[in-house]
Amino acid sequence: MATPDGRTVLMLSDTVWELHGDTIRGIDPLIEPLVYTEDVPFPDDVLQSVDIAFFSADCWPGRSRGIVVSILKSPNLRWLQTFSAGVDSPFFVDLMDKGVTLTTASGSSASPIAQTVVLYMLALSRDMRRWMRQQDERRWEQHRFVELEGATLAVVGMGPIGMEVARLGIALQMQVEAVRRTPSGDEPCVTHGMDSLHRVLSRADWVVSALPLTGDTRGIFSAEAFTAMKPGARFVNVGRGELVDEPALVEALRSGRLAGAGLDVFAVEPLPADSPLWGMENVIITPHNSATSTSTGARSEAIFLENLANHVAGRPLRNVANGRRP
C-alpha cells in the first residue's frame, strides 16, 4: 500500500539513508523514505503505508527490536531485504508465511567467514592457545605442529561461504572435496551429493560445516557423523548451531575422537556459561562473530541497492529466500 499519490514507502535506517539516499532517489525519484532514527517502533498508523523495508546491519543488535517490531506490524509490506544470509529465524519465517518476499544478503559475509575458518585451522593446527599462554607467562618453549598443506579438507555446504572456504583451502594447497545437496559442476573442487557425507567425512583431516539450517540439515552432525570422521580430525562450524548434536560433539572431543574444534555458532546463543565447551583446551569459541567485519554491512547495502533497482525495473530480485524452510 503506497502513499495516496502512489509513492512507494521504504522503511530504512538513518545510517543507510544518509549514506545512500541520493542513490536511492536516483533509482526511484518518487520513493518516500520512512527513516528509522531511534530504537522504538513506529506508530501503527505510519506503518500502514510501508511497501518495502531494509533491515540493515547497523541496526543489529542494538536497535533491532524497534525495527523488527515495525516490520512485523506493517500490514501491507510486500518485500523485506535483510542484511543476513540465514532465514531460519522465526521472524523471517513469519513474514514468509504472510506472503512477504524476503531477500537476503547471501554472499556479503562469505569472505570474512571463510577467512575466520582459516584462522581456526591455523590456530588449532599450531596449538595457538598454548603459544598465547606461554606469552602471558613470558615462557620460551617451542613445540611441533602439523601443517595444512597436503591435509584433506571436507567442506559441507557449498553456498557462497563454502565456495570461498574451498577456494582458500586450495590456495593453502590442501586436498579439498565438498558435499552439497545438488552438485552443479562449477565447484572449485570435487563435490559429492549428501548421500556421500559419511564417506567424505571418513577421509577428512578437517571438516567445515557451512550448511544452512533446514529440516533436512538440523542435527546432521550427529554422533554417527562424528564416529564416521577420521580419528584425530578437527571440526569447524560456521553454519548454524542446530546443525550439530552438541552433546555428541562434546563426547567426541573428550574421547579424543576429534582433536579439536572451531565454533562460531551454537544451539543456544549466547553459549550458556555451564557448557563444557568453554573449558576445553582444544576448542576455539567465537560469539557468532565470524562475519562482523567492517566491510560486511557495506556489501549487504550494495545488494539492497542492486535489488531496489531490480524491483523498480521489474527484474527478478537477487537472493530470494521464499521456499527455503528451516
Per-residue pLDDT of 94-128, as tens digits, reads 999 999 999 999 999 999 999 999 999 999 999 99
CA–CA gap between residue 116 and residue 249 (Å, rounded): 20
Q: How far is CA 14 from CA 19, 35, 222, 288, in A?
A: 9, 5, 44, 26
* Nearest one of 193, 200, 204, 198 to 227, comparing CA atoms: 198
319 assigned to some structural domain: no
Query: What tens digit of pLDDT does each residue of 231-278 get?
Result: 999 999 999 999 999 999 999 999 999 999 999 999 999 999 999 999
Asked if 51 and 186 sit in the same domain, the reply is: no
Q: How many residues does the chain have?
A: 326
Asked if 118 and 258 sit in the same domain, the reply is: yes
Query: What tens digit of pLDDT does each residue of 304-317 get?
Result: 999 999 999 999 99
Asked if 35 and 25 sit in the same domain, the reply is: yes
324 assigned to some structural domain: no
At residue 79, the pLDDT reads 98
- State the residue range of the domain holding 73: 9-108+295-313
At residue 324, the pLDDT reads 61
Q: Which residues are catalytic?
A: 240, 269, 288
Whichever domain contains 166, its CATH number is 3.40.50.720
CB count in 10 Å sphere of residue 274: 7
22 assigned to some structural domain: yes
1 assigned to some structural domain: no
323 assigned to some structural domain: no
CB count in 10 Å sphere of residue 104: 22
Asked if 273 and 306 sit in the same domain, the reply is: no
Asked if 305 and 246 sit in the same domain, the reply is: no
Asked if 162 and 271 sit in the same domain, the reply is: yes
At residue 86, the pLDDT reads 87
Asked if 51 and 198 sit in the same domain, the reply is: no
- Joined together, the cell numbers standing for residue 298 give 557495506
Asked if 163 and 72 sit in the same domain, the reply is: no
At residue 255, the pLDDT reads 97
Asked if 56 and 180 sit in the same domain, the reply is: no
At residue 125, the pLDDT reads 98
Mean pLDDT value across residues 34-38: 95
Cis check: omega of the bond before 61, within 30 degrees of 0: yes
Residue 322 phi/psi, 5-degree rounding, is -55, 130
Residue 256 phi/psi, 5-degree rounding, is 90, 0
Asked if 245 and 273 sit in the same domain, the reply is: yes
318 assigned to some structural domain: no
Residue environment code for 147-186, b if the CB has 16+ CB neighbours within 10 A, otherwise e: ebeebbbbbbbbbbbbbbbbbbbeebebbbbbbbeebeee
CA–CA gap between residue 149 and residue 205 (Å, rounded): 11
Asked if 142 and 243 sit in the same domain, the reply is: yes
Sign of the CA dihedral with 18 first, then 23, 24, and 26 last: positive
In whole angstroms, how large is the CA radius of gyration of the chain?
22
Q: Determine the Cα angle at 258 with ends 178 and 160, to 5°.
A: 30
Proportion of the chain in helix, strand, coil states, percent, rounded to 5: 40, 15, 45
pLDDT higher than 70, residue 130: yes
158 assigned to some structural domain: yes
Mean pLDDT value across residues 164-174: 98
290 assigned to some structural domain: no
Q: What is the mean pLDDT of the chain?
A: 96
**Domain count for the chain:** 2
Asked if 172 and 242 sit in the same domain, the reply is: yes
At residue 3, the pLDDT reads 63
At residue 326, the pLDDT reads 52
Q: How far is CA 318 from CA 106, 199, 253, in A?
A: 9, 34, 40
